[in-house]
Structures are given as C-alpha cells and as structure tokens.
Amino acid sequence: MDLYYHQGSAPCRSVIMIAKALGVDLNLKFCNILAGEQLKPEFVKLNPQHTIPTLVDNGFVLWESRAILIYLVEKYGKEDDSLYPADPQQRALINQRLYFDMAVLFQSFYQAIFPQIVTKKPPTPESMEKVDKAFGLLNTFLEEDEFVAGPSLTVADISILAIVSTFEVVDYDISQYPNVAKWYAKVKEVTPGWAENWEGVQWLKNYMQSS
C-alpha cells in the first residue's frame, strides 16, 4: 500500500502508528505540502481534495485519516478486533471520540497552534480558549477509563495521541489536565509506532524554530 504523507502531519502519523499496530507495511511516499506538491495535477487526479494522508491500496484510494484508520483495522485486523471492536456500543463510543478529535480537538489545534508554526503569530485568547475546552473535555472522558473509549487501546487513542503530542511543539502544558497527562504517559508506552510519531513532532518543532 502507498501512503502519501508528511511527517509533520498528525493525521499522517496516526496512520503510520495504526499500520505498525497491525503489522501492515506501508510504502511511504513523501508529499511536500510546504512546496505545494499536493496541488500537482497527478495528485489532484488521485485525490480531488488534495489532502494528506492519502492511501492507495491496490488501486483503492482513500483519504481522511480517521476513515483510513478504520479501513485498515477492518481489513487487516480480523484476528484481533480490539482496536475497533465489533460490539455496536463500543464501536459507537470509539466513533464519537474520533468525531470529537476531528471536529473539536484537531480544530482547536488548527486554529490556535498551526498559525504559530507557520506565521509565528501568537494565538488569540479566543482560539486558546477552544484548546483549553477541548483538553478539558478529553480530561472528562478519561475520568473513568484508562483509555479514551474504554479499558483498552483503540483507534481513537491512536488518532488522539497523534494530535495531543503535536501540542508539544509549542510546549502546551498538558499537566494541567491530570487525566490526560496520565493517559498520555500510558499510551506513549503501549502504542506501536510512537517513536516514528515523536520524530515527526520533533521535526515540526525544529521547523518552527528555524523558519
């Protein structure tokens, strides 16, 4: 399978981690989005939304990281469904957390942190309020369970881990949310591919400091 990716992208790194968890080999194809490679005609033909990650599995093309995570688990995790259990209620909770990640947590990063990386401009108070609210909600989700959607690691943890770790680019104080901090320490230890994810975070931090 080909994965068009950039190491600075949290969604791309979540796909790399899930592939590691499944023992699936990816043919990584670097897409330099900073140079506009995603806008080249051949890539737009592949993915009209010209976004990464984009997965190509024997001619089947899929983008949007959370859709890719579920696809990979459903296709290649048949012997062990713990990352995305078949039970409807467990699966519904995982889906809810993935939608929270996409619509709330990742959006707070995109509005408050991403501009700091690209333009060096400080975030607005309003945008940081959204970050704090997102982390507060995540802290609440973790009050009763060790992982974000129940007692064991799932695709929701891996997706959320990728973006939570990226907040470290600006040294966001995760410790003010004790449940999140405890979860973060745990998932870093148990998630396959964490080292690759952290390399991407460090690359992004170095880019921010040098550009």
What pLDDT is attached to residue 210?
Answer: 87
Q: How far apart are CA 160 and CA 147, in angstroms?
A: 11
* Dist CA 146 CA 138 (whole Å): 12
List 9, 65, 127, 165, catalytic entry: 9
Predicted local distance difference test score (pLDDT) of residue 118: 83
Would you state the pLDDT for residue 132? 98
pLDDT at position 119, please? 84
CA pair distance 85, 101, nearest whole angstrom: 19
Cα–Cα distances (Å) from 46 to 10, 35, 137, 204, in that order, read 21, 18, 36, 26
Confidence at residue 117, expressed as pLDDT on a 0 to 100 scale = 87
pLDDT at 187: 98
Q: Where are the beta strands (DSSP E) in the chain?
A: 2-5, 27-30, 54-57, 60-63
Bridging pattern class, strands 27-30 and 54-57? unpaired
pLDDT at 20 (0 to 100): 97
User: Tokens standing for 126?
Assistant: 């309003």
Please indicate whether residue 159 is annotated as part of the active site: no
Q: What is the pLDDT of residues 27-54, one digit of tens each?
A: 999 999 999 999 999 999 999 999 999 9
pLDDT in tens, 131-144: 999 999 999 999 99
Residue 143: its H or E element = none
Residues of the chain with pLDDT under 70: 211
What confidence score (pLDDT) does residue 72 get? Answer: 97
pLDDT score recorded for residue 75: 95
